Chain A
Amino acid sequence: MDVLQKLEILADAAKYDASCASSGTESRNSLKNQGIGSTSPGMGICHSYTPDGRCISLLKILLTNFCLYECAYCVNRTSSNVPRARFSIDEVVNLTMEFYKRNYIEGLFLSSGIIKSADYTMEQVVAVARKLRLEHRFGGYIHLKTIPEASPELLAEAGLYADRLSINVELPSETSLKRLAPEKNAQSIVRSMANLSSGIEEYKESKKLARKKANKKLIAPKFSPSGQSTQMIVGADTSNDAIILRKASQLYQSFKMKRVYYSAFSPIPDASSELPLKSPPLVREHRLYQADWLLRFYGYGIDELTDVTNDSPSPGMLSLDVDPKLAWAIRHRDAFPVDLNRADFETILRVPGIGVINARRLVAQRKVAALRYQDLSKLRLPIEKLKYFVTTIDHHPKPTQLDAANFSSLFIAQKSQQMNLFE
């Protein structure tokens, strides 16, 4: 089998993993060592987009899609009837270098099916990164998917070369993991995440200390400067959004995750009989990302975002019709309208349609002159949504509108057309 065929199979096998965005890492360039590659603390660059709207920033491939595990949601599980292939270490190294030199990618995202043993597989993955860094002086981004059962020494070496390490938590509950990924082990996942977390922390601390004492020698050996991330499969078990978000919050807190990725399991060739028949609507995944963002940067609580009303038709779920922030505002109409000229920053931040940047702008601008309705459109804020929730010196929404029983239908009607596109 030639490299082209392998690439076709092993890219196809990798496409369901969502956690592939290259993100900020250390600032690095190749001026000193005359190599190839640079990274920055800002976001990685999207070099292309596929017609599914996803950004391509990394060469995302599997080293091999042979796998001895039987994870029901995965296209590469042992019982799946897909063509198999295996790259040699050099093949992956060359593809990465050649793609990078043509400015196709920011770097490599390498993961692998599990062959022979966890350590054997991990050793191969690490070997690719080692060769790229040491032999080819590659300075681009490297993300390695780590195998939780692999030995800590291997994880430590992976941290030396990778910008980011990740371990997929896969499912929000231990029971689901046992049922749908019977070879995986919740304990080793947690243990390895904790290992990564402390390695990352140690490295960070040593850099801080080195800066304080102005002594570069104090910097510990590199360890995954861009932190760790994880992925959770959505819709393969019956966990509701509140359970998923709670698990995510816990991961953010315990292991200082950079990101938790949510992946609605998608139709795959040759699906397992263990999976539910229907894949979840993609809009659910989208809402989880929105809620995740609100939890981390807007100070919302999980119970504020998910449906906790008694005898709700969908307990613990986020609304599919409207985004979680709007849904919260609709449930808390008594808190509106908000006077944009008086309210504090946190209150303004809770207005649907106003994000962090615009909330800051509004607060800065009203110091110069009182805010008027037209200032909002000049800031290109979504007036149609906003107008019910705010007052300015020349705009006061009719209270009857907010109180109307059919208030929420105002938004759902607007949205329903778009929604069909997602489903």
Chain B
Amino acid sequence: MYSFSVTDFDGWRTIARTLLQANVAPSNVSWQPPEQQGLFSPSSLEAIIDPAKPVSSSGTHTIPREFLQRAKQAACFSDIKDSARKWSILYSLLWRIVNDGKETLLLTSDPEVRYLDSMCKAVSRDKHKMKAFVRFQQVVNHDVEVVSPESAEGNAEYYVAWFEPSHAIIESVAPFFVKRFTGMSWSILTPGGCAHWDTAQLTLSEGVVKPDIDTDAFDIFWKAYYRNIFNPARLKEQAMRSEMPKKYWQYLPEATCIKNLTRGAAAITAQMIDAPATNSNRARDKSQAVAQFQDTLRLNNRIDQTTGTSTDKPR
């Protein structure tokens, strides 16, 4: 039995490649979370390759790119119950792909394929939600301690966001924010790691605890927008909640408006429905100028419509 402790995708890949070449079956490998390192001493890779045994027939294997991409994504997955499980499933799948062919990945009802699928889905969803719900706050006061000093210095405008993703995605989503917010300095702080951008350089640093960030004074505009773009006649709270689960509300300044909007919706709608209709000629009757303007347009309208093959040409 070999035992390995892995922290990231690259580490897993190096080990997996060697194991595969030495033809070590998944049942002979145990993957350990990094904390356990002291308990089992990790096997050294050289020891695996037994010089007496021939290296597996093909020597190097071609692994479908799609699998590697998905494995890389799954590597960000944090399984609360069993943090090393993903590595053993990934190795097992790799083993099966090499031995049974890449059709293995098509077995959508296979438990391991499904686990890979669900890990990828969870990670990609988490990334997506992070791109959507990170909210930058402009900070005037730069002595937020958690911020790397280089990124704060000398910049008039500086933005900070606090977010708690469910998976270890900060490194893989940071480039998205760099490409989008290139021209400004910012930090995204999370418990599992932070990303800082100073308009030229991306730096990653250790995770932090939730910092105290002053509310951005600009919030009031965003909340005003949120309140007014809402259509009370179409209240569909459940649809909102399923797309924007409550656990994210803490990051969203606009979430504080939800309760009042929902509560008042029915009354406002009833009011609109009950209000008497307005005569469509109200403005024309009141203002000569408006009537004239509209008449010209209506006339043009008619002239335009009679060009071409129209049959009702005025005679």
Measured CB to CB, the residues of A under 8 A from B are 3-4, 7-9, 11-12, 14-16, 29-31, 34-38, 45-56, 59-61, 68-70, 72, 77-81, 95, 98-99, 101-104, 137, 174, 178, 182-188, 266-275, 279, 282, 361, 364-365, 367-369, 374-375, 378-379, 421
A188–B304 contact, CB under 8 A?
yes
A29–B228 contact, CB under 8 A?
no
> Which residues from chain B contact A68 at a C-beta distance below 8 Å?
290, 293-294, 297
Residue of A nearest to B285 (CB): A79
B180–A368 contact, CB under 8 A?
no
Give residues of chain B (92-129) contacting chain A, Cβ–Cβ below 8 Å. Answer: 103, 106-109, 114, 128
A46–B132 contact, CB under 8 A?
yes
B interface residues, tally (CB under 8 Å):
79
> Which residues from chain A contact B82 at a C-beta distance below 8 Å?
none
Give residues of chain B (199-250) contacting chain A, Cβ–Cβ below 8 Å. Answer: 199, 216, 218, 220-222, 224-240, 243-244
- Shortest distance from the beta carbon of A31 to any chain B beta carbon, whole Å: 6
- Shortest distance from the beta carbon of B155 to any chain A beta carbon, whole Å: 13
- Shortest distance from the beta carbon of B176 to any chain A beta carbon, whole Å: 8
A15–B230 contact, CB under 8 A?
yes
- Shortest distance from the beta carbon of A408 to any chain B beta carbon, whole Å: 26
Residue of A nearest to B237 (CB): A51
Question: Which of B31-39, B146-154, B164-172, B267-275 is the contact stretch?
Answer: B267-275
A290 to B272 CA separation, bound complex (whole angstroms): 29
A98–B218 contact, CB under 8 A?
yes
Q: Which of A8, A46, A50, A269 contacts B224 (CB 8 A)?
A: A8
Dominant secondary structure of chain A at its interface with chain B? loop
The yes or no answer to B40 lying at the interface (CB within 8 A) is: no
Residue of A nearest to B239 (CB): A53
A-B contact list, 16 entries, CB within 8 Å:
A7-B225, A12-B228, A30-B182, A30-B183, A45-B132, A50-B240, A51-B240, A56-B226, A68-B293, A68-B294, A102-B136, A104-B222, A182-B297, A267-B273, A368-B107, A379-B108
A95 to B244 CA separation, bound complex (whole angstroms): 24
- Shortest distance from the beta carbon of A370 to any chain B beta carbon, whole Å: 12
> Which residues from chain B contact A367 at a C-beta distance below 8 Å?
103, 106
B183–A34 contact, CB under 8 A?
yes
B180–A37 contact, CB under 8 A?
yes
Residue of A nearest to B254 (CB): A48
The yes or no answer to B162 lying at the interface (CB within 8 A) is: no
> Which residues from chain A contact B199 at a C-beta distance below 8 Å?
34
Residue of A nearest to B304 (CB): A187
